[in-house]
Amino acid sequence: MRDVEFIEDCDRLVELAPIAAASIQYHVFVCTGKSCSANESAEVRNAFERELKARKLQYGKEKKGCNPNGSVVLTECASVGFCAVGAAVMVYPDGVWYAQVRPSDVPEIVEEHIVNGRPVERLALLRVPRKPEWEGK
């Protein structure tokens, strides 16, 4: 195994990974694992990509149709922990886990949750607290 150089220079880190300095507001995880894939999860992921790109919200390279000033990162993942009720989607930093998401639900999630900051209650299965209950009561 080769040694990886630890980079201490913040400017160099940002040069290598521009996302480190981006104004990211949300990170959307879409499960495309085995169980979720049986429930249209690839289509759900594609619907998020279309909707976020159309609104110029998806962070990324322009040559890939994204916005280098976008505020949302979209990540495909293998599991978010409740694939039996997929397609499963998590939105952070709000800690909202959506279940049974269909491609037709995506515009509503983007409009209500991502744009307006209001989770879509009919699909929200679970909310993970952003900080422990004992803090800031």
Residue 7 counted as domain residue: no
> How confident is the model at residue 53, as a pLDDT?
97
The pLDDT confidence band at residue 1, using thresholds 50, 70 and 90, is low
Indicate the number of domains in the chain. 1
pLDDT digits (tens, 9 = 90+) for 102-119: 999 999 999 999 999 999
Please name the helix (run of DSSP H) or strand (run of DSSP E) that holds residue 96, with its range, or none: strand 96-98
Whether the predicted pLDDT of 63 surpasses 80: yes
11 assigned to some structural domain:
no
d(CA 56, CA 59): 8
Q: Structural domain of residue 73, as residue ranges?
A: 30-127
- E strand or H helix that includes residue 108: helix 106-108
Q: 60 lies in a domain?
A: yes
pLDDT at res. 35: 85
**Is 77 among the domain residues?**
yes
Number of Cβ within a 10 Å radius of residue 36: 27
130: confidence class by pLDDT, cuts 50, 70, 90: low
Position 53 in a domain? yes
Cα–Cα nearest to 122, from 136, 103, 108: 108
pLDDT computed for residue 117 by the predictor: 94
Does 75 map to a domain?
yes
Q: Quick check: helix, strand or coil at residue 71?
A: coil
Residue 63 belongs to a domain: yes
Q: What are 9-42's pLDDT values in tens digits?
A: 888 888 888 888 888 999 999 999 888 888 889 9
In the predicted model, what is the mean pLDDT of the chain? 88
Section 72-86 average pLDDT: 85
Q: Please give the Cα distance from 24 to 99 (Å, whole number).
A: 24
Q: Is residue 4 part of a domain?
A: no
Residues 120 and 112: their CA atoms lie apart, in Å, by 7
User: Which residues are within 8 A (CB) of 103 and not within 5 positions of it... i.e. 6 or more apart?
Assistant: 40, 43, 44, 46, 47
pLDDT-derived band at 128 (thresholds 50, 70, 90) equals confident
Domain of residue 80, CATH code: 3.40.30.10
Quickly count: other Cβ atoms within 10 Å of residue 44's Cβ.
26
